Copies of this chain bind each other. A is one copy, B any other.
C-alpha cells in the first residue's frame, strides 16, 4: 500500500461551515473522511478519501457487541502566517498501535496513516478554524466489522479518520474546574485496558461522571482499581499536582493512559528546571499536603483542553480548595508555552510540530 493507492472522491456538496463561536467540541465534521479496510489474509487495503457519510454495518458487526475498538485524538492548527501545524501526530499513531496490541487489532502502518491524514487535511484545509484558541480536532479510530457473534477477535476492521473544527475551551478565560474524587466506581485496573484508548474505558467512566454532575462537580478523579487509594486520572485527562515546589504526576502503571500532553508537560517542566516526579500518589498524600498548606496547584492535561486547572477537589465530605480556586502560576506558564508551540506563535525547541 503506497500513497498512490489512496483514491480520492471529492464531495459534490460542501457543507456550510459553522461560525467559530458556535463550534464547541466534536459536533461539526468536515466534508471528507479517510477509510482503510482490513481483512484477514489481505491486510490493510483500499485506502480512500470520500465524502463524510454514514457507515453502513451489519447489525451483527462485532463493534456493536464486543467493543473491539480503539481511537486517537490529536489537533491541527493554522498559524497566523497560514502554516498548518500538526502536534506530535507520530505519537498518536504509535499509541494507536499500542492500543491495537491490547485489543487484538492488527497494527496499522504508522507512516502511511500519517501520510493519509496529511492528505485528508489538505483536502479539507479550509475547515481548519483560524480564531485564537480554535483548532481542527482529528479523530482516527478502528472498529471491528465482522458480522459474527462468537466472542473472538474480528477478521475484518475499518480504520477511519474524521475531523471536527473545535472552539476555544476557554472563551471566557481559563476557569478552574471542580472535581469529585470517586470512591466506588472504577475506570480501569492493572491488567485491564486502562492504558489503551478503547471504548470500554469511556463507557465505564460515564457513571462516575453522572454522579459528579449530580453533586455539582464537572469531572471525576479516578483512584486505582486495586486499593482505591492511588490517584490515576481526572475525567479523560492525566493529572498533575504541585506540592511544596515540586510537580508530581502518577507514573505510567498500566492502567493510566500515557497522555501525549502529559509527556509534553513533563518535558517542558524539565526544560524549565522545575522539579517533576512521576510516581505513585495516594489521595491521602494530596489531602495531607492541603492541610499542611503545601498543595499549591493541580491540573489535568489532555488534547481537548490542553490544561484544565483544578480549583476544588471533593474527597469524602471534605472540600479541598486549591490556590483559592484560581489558576496557578506554573499551570498558566505551561498552558501559555504549550499552546504557543502548538499554534506556532512560540518557537518549538522540541520539534513537536509538523508542518503540513
Residues of A within 8 A of B (CB): 25-27, 29, 33, 52-61, 63-69, 71, 102-104, 137, 139, 141, 143, 147-153, 160, 162, 164, 184-193, 198-207, 209-210, 225-226, 228, 235-236
> What's the number of copies of this chain in the assembled complex?
2
**Bound CA–CA A65/B206 (angstroms):** 13
- Pick the contact of A204: B141, B200, B210 (CB < 8 A): B200
Check B57–A203 contact: CB distance below 8 A: no
Residues of B close to A204: CB separation below 8 A: 192-193, 200
Question: How near does chain B come to A257, taking the closest CB pair, in angstroms?
Answer: 12
8 A-B residue pairings within 8 Å (CB atoms): A26-B149, A54-B56, A54-B59, A60-B162, A149-B164, A152-B209, A189-B189, A193-B204
Residues of B close to A162: CB separation below 8 A: 59-60
Residues of B close to A209: CB separation below 8 A: 151-152
Check B207–A203 contact: CB distance below 8 A: no
Check A193–B200 contact: CB distance below 8 A: yes
Residues of B close to A189: CB separation below 8 A: 186, 189, 192, 225-226
**Bound CA–CA A68/B236 (angstroms):** 16
Residues of B close to A207: CB separation below 8 A: 102-104
Most chain B C-beta atoms within 10 Å of own C-beta, residue among A61, A103, A189? A189
In the complex, what residue of chain B is closest to A226 when comparing beta carbons? B226
Residues of B close to A56: CB separation below 8 A: 54-56
Question: How near does chain B come to A152, taking the closest CB pair, in angstroms?
Answer: 7
Most chain B C-beta atoms within 10 Å of own C-beta, residue among A66, A141, A203? A203
In the complex, what residue of chain B is closest to A236 when comparing beta carbons? B151
In the complex, what residue of chain B is closest to A143 when comparing beta carbons? B64
In the complex, what residue of chain B is closest to A200 when comparing beta carbons? B200
Question: How near does chain B come to A189, taking the closest CB pair, in angstroms?
Answer: 4
Question: How near does chain B come to A147, taking the closest CB pair, in angstroms?
Answer: 8
Given A52-B59, A200-B200: A206 and B104 within 8 A (CB)? yes
Check A104–B210 contact: CB distance below 8 A: yes
In the complex, what residue of chain B is closest to A235 when comparing beta carbons? B151
Check B25–A150 contact: CB distance below 8 A: yes
- Pick the contact of A149: B60, B137, B235 (CB < 8 A): B137
**Bound CA–CA A226/B189 (angstroms):** 8
Check B206–A60 contact: CB distance below 8 A: no
Check A205–B151 contact: CB distance below 8 A: yes
The 10 A-B pairs with the shortest beta carbon distances in the complex, nearest first, are A200-B200, A67-B199, A26-B149, A186-B191, A67-B203, A66-B202, A189-B189, A104-B206, A54-B56, A189-B225
Check A225–B191 contact: CB distance below 8 A: yes
Residues of B close to A103: CB separation below 8 A: 203, 206-207
**Bound CA–CA A147/B185 (angstroms):** 26
Residues of B close to A71: CB separation below 8 A: 65
Check A203–B210 contact: CB distance below 8 A: no
Check A149–B153 contact: CB distance below 8 A: no
Check B185–A225 contact: CB distance below 8 A: no
**Bound CA–CA A25/B191 (angstroms):** 29
Residues of B close to A66: CB separation below 8 A: 199, 202-203, 206
- Pick the contact of A160: B59, B69, B205 (CB < 8 A): B59
Check A200–B67 contact: CB distance below 8 A: yes
**Bound CA–CA A211/B285 (angstroms):** 38
